[in-house]
A and B are shown apart, each in its own frame.
Chain A
Amino acid sequence: MPLLAIDNISKSYDGVLALNQVSLSVRQGIIKGLIGPNGAGKTTLFHLISGLESPTAGQISFGNVDITGKAPHEIASLGVGRTFQTIQTWGTMTVVENILAGMHTRVPGNFLSSGLWLPWIHKGEGAALKEAKHILEFLGLLGRWKWSAMQLSFGQQKMLELGRAIAMRPRLLLLDEPAAGLTPVEVKRLSEKVCQLRGQGITIMVVEHHQGMVMEIADEVAVLHNGELIADDTPAAVKKDPRVLEAYLAGAVG
């Protein structure tokens, strides 16, 4: 039984077909790479899974629950974490608060009890802070926990965004171009972290332009081209697939 099952999903924007009848499944505990030329519909697929947009047709189910058309926060609280292509850390908050905000669904409190700072709020916030520091230590950002998030460098902000998604304790983690704009050293560190997360039992889906990284860490790679799925196999097999080669070479030459 796959953790995530995408069944014949289509998405069109005013008649322009971004995704056409894509079916894809992600097994528990693997890293699934998702590659394709620009405009292939990779980010659209992520938006559909995380609920930011709803599909024109088709169905998405996550761990036996039909999540098609659900609100983003409902899907997130089911255990789907994600990062964004353009960094979306909260610059008005400190680094540790960004991580703490990621734990929103797990920290107790509502407007009344938090305002009155009842005993269980105090306990919950303390525990959350301890855990947030662990996550920052894992990402190598502990030394900057009191910094404002906007004072971090680009690479560190990418890491912070990853940390915010991990803080949710997701079952499925969607990484939208995590390596874009990073230096080779940072890319290497990032792949290490992603592999460690897989070791902790988190299923990960990566959209990436950086093919080397995806081919290295992914267990399976799916290739999208013009909104259609043209390959879905192990990295080695995908590299040899004639249709994939054609899609990429056609893009490069023409």
Chain B
Amino acid sequence: MVADNKSEFRKRDLLLTGGLWLISLILPDPHLPYRKEFLKKRDFVYLGALVLLPVIWPGALFLMGLAGIYAIVALGLSLFLGYAGQISLGHAAFFGIGAYTTAILTTRYGIPPVGAFWASAGAAAACAYLIGKPILKLKGYFLALATLGFGEIFLVIVREARDLTGGVSGIFGVPWFSVAGFTFDTYLKQYCLIWGVLIGLVLFAKNLVRSKMGRALLAVAASEDAAASVGIDVARVKLGVFVISAAFAGLAGSLFAGVISTASPDAFGLGLSVLMVMMVIIGGMGTLYGPIFAAIFLTWLTDSLGAYQEYSLPIFGVIFILLLIFFPDGIATRLNARLIYLISYWGRKRRRERIDQ
């Protein structure tokens, strides 16, 4: 009888560990285990899924492109909000600065899109530097309010500076993104471009997170006094990560202008800023892949709820509330915590049973 029981447990263990291993392949990184390993198996699983997507489901390419653009912003915001623990409700403005820089440089001055692409990142980073210097001394709600104000000021400037930005109607006919005569004019090409940029930025962010700057970010988020006590210049670290995340948003804005072909103020309002923050929170604070997953999920959700017209916002709200109730610290973090708990629980249980016998 006892022997039967034992073999039954073994079989179930095998099944469960197999299942858990499979899940662990696709789950985003938790931030706790030591991050020295640069690329893991799951990175290649993600890459494979990205490569296979155009073959399996060509219809999703446009939406995935858009999701990729938002994912770039969310990735940058994840460094600022998820790692350094600072709140920004003005990232749509940096996104907008990127889009308008590209739109103005390419349509008015005939600068090639690649040049405009880097100029967009530079413009967003420069604005972030000027804005961040005074306002990053603020904390919590006050920082949220200050960045919110910055976002609104940006919108007012865009609407009023009609000569430069085309006012409320915006700028039309931004040329497709092109590199050395190769134009990204189909959904497939745009998908490759956007996710290529995203992969580059993910590698950059991964390096940042495993280096001393990543540790400084987490240190600043956890305890500024302790961070200063080991010689970390808290103000500089905050400013630096704000500039980096703004540059990410600027790059995304440039891609947005190059793919949608327009830049108009409606696209860069408070709604987008809040959506970005939601992506980081739902994805999981202190993770890199979480916000990307959340960006895909939220873009898809917004698009599919569009069919319900006036009911879409309430449904959106209910889904958010449910997510925040069941995954208060983000999908990635919570699922991983559950997984770690499950594995350790199984280990403990088996050990207990061995001792009992």
Give chain A's interface residues, CB within 8 Å of chain B: 50-52, 71-73, 76-77, 81-82, 84, 88-94, 96-97, 100-105, 107-111, 114-117, 121, 125, 128-129, 145-146, 148, 164-165, 167-168
For B221, the chain A residues whose CB sits under 8 A away are: 92
Distance to closest chain A CB from B114 (angstroms): 19
Is B204 positioned at the interface, with any CB of A under 8 Å from its CB? yes
Q: Is the interface of B mostly helix, strand, loop or mixed?
A: helix
From 91 to 118 in chain B, residues with beta carbon under 8 angstroms from any chain A beta carbon are none
Q: Are B32 and A94 in contact (CB under 8 A)?
A: yes
For the complex, is B153 an interface residue (Cβ under 8 Å from A)? Answer: no
Report how far A92 CA is from B329 CA in the complex, Å: 13
| Contact A97-B230, Cβ < 8 Å, known A90-B219, A91-B222 | no
Which bracket fits the contact residues of B? 35 or more
Q: Using A84-B225, A92-B222, A93-B218 as known contacts, say yes or no to A114 and B231 having CB atoms under 8 A apart.
A: no
Residues from chain B with Cβ under 8 Å of A114 in the complex: 207-208, 211-214
Minimum-distance CB pairs A-B, first 6: A114-B211, A72-B228, A76-B231, A88-B226, A105-B231, A101-B215
Q: Does more than half of chain A's interface fall in helix, strand or loop, or is it mixed?
A: mixed
Q: Flag whether B5 is at the interface (Cβ < 8 A).
A: no
Given A50, A148, A165, A168, which contacts B32 in the complex, CB threshold below 8 Å?
A: A148
Q: Are B211 and A117 in contact (CB under 8 A)?
A: yes
CB <8 Å contact, B207 and A116: yes
Partner of A101, one of B219, B233, B240, B243: B219
Q: Which residue among A51, A92, A103, A121 has the maximum number of chain B CB atoms within 10 Å of its CB?
A: A92
Contact with A along B281-311 (1 / 0, CB 8 A): 0000010000000000000000000000000
Contacts from B to A (Cβ < 8 Å): 31-36, 204-205, 207-208, 210-216, 218-219, 221-223, 225-234, 240-241, 243-244, 286
Q: Which of A73, A91, A167 has the most CB of B within 10 A?
A: A73
Indicate which residue in B31, B204, B210, B216 contacts A92 across the interface (CB closer than 8 Å).
B31
Of the residues B33, B219, B286, contact of A94 by C-beta under 8 Å: B33
